[in-house]
Amino acid sequence: MKIKILINSTLSIIISIFCCIIFINNLDYNFTIYEVMQSISNQWVYLLIACILIIFSVLLRSLRWHLLFNNKNINITKYLYRAQFISYFINNISPLRIGDLAKSYVVAKNTDNKTSYILGSIVMERFLDIIMILLLLFILIGYYGLDYFKIDISFPFFWYILLIIILLVLFIFFKAKIFFPIKIQDILSEVWNGFTAIKIVNLSTIIVYSFLIWSIYLLNIYLIQLIFPEINLSLFECLFILVISSFIQMIPIGFGSIGIFHIGLQGALIQLNIDNDNSFIFVAHLYSYMIYTVIGAYYFMHEKNLTIKSLYHEIIKI
């Protein structure tokens, strides 16, 4: 396991550095930090609103996450909200995407829930986000058409269906207690319980929270581009950027997706025929990265039951 962690960390660092080099090489010669700061100083209200909204979106995520628990006695602001920021902080400073493990560890240590059960609820969270991203993608396809994206619809759908079938087969075998040792069965049982803890009565509220969260993300992209009037993105172009950046951030690269996010957004804006985009890309990543890192670091330092060493031991157990 230690060797696997080392290999994954090394690969993540190499990929991030490589992507940063590509992004820097593609920068316009007139791009400077001074130019970015000057634009922000002229349109700072948009950035301030975006920062407030991104913090509010974390609260909405905490409220939605709370509905995925059987135990409703969990303190939302004390544990779930704090755990969300800690997970972002860990993902932003670590070469490994272990933020979900960190927030499940925080909640488990402060409640009577097992870490594996909480991980199951986080899997459900991710599942809800994927549904939202796919819904937004279908809206984009309906607006632009498949030819615009050069998508072969049979290829990704084939792999999505295959993955779902494999997962279903694994769970069927798990339920039949085949292949898995007793310890693994217990862990998977808790994960499954967390994944399926959602109640039908909560479904409408969860849907509302999901739409609010992703509406904030879309609005924030629109607000950030307003800082740079020369870009002038339409609502659907902002939606295109949101979907592309969301898929990019699914890639298991640490350090807050630095590098890979930037070249991915460069490609998206090239597809949209947008020039002078580097300042926008820089701010679009940096503002959320700083918010998540600073607030997450504050909560991390005040979390008595969480240290880098304890997280490392949790990874070794898996």
Domain boundaries, the chain: 34-317
Distances (CA, A) of 186 to 1, 135, 256, 300: 21, 34, 32, 29
Length of the chain: 318
Tokens of 250: 């699914």
What's the CA gap between 115 and 112, in Å, rounded? 10
How far is C-alpha 23 from the chain's CA centre? 21
Per-residue pLDDT of the chain (318 residues; tens, 9 = 90+): 567 677 777 877 888 888 788 777 777 666 777 888 888 888 999 999 999 999 999 999 999 988 887 666 677 777 889 999 999 999 999 888 888 888 888 888 877 777 777 877 888 888 889 899 999 988 988 887 766 665 444 444 445 545 555 555 554 444 444 444 444 444 445 555 555 555 555 788 888 999 999 999 999 999 999 998 888 888 999 999 999 999 888 887 888 888 888 888 888 888 888 876 788 998 999 999 999 999 999 999 888 767 766 666 666 565
CA–CA separation, 22 and 312 (whole Å): 32
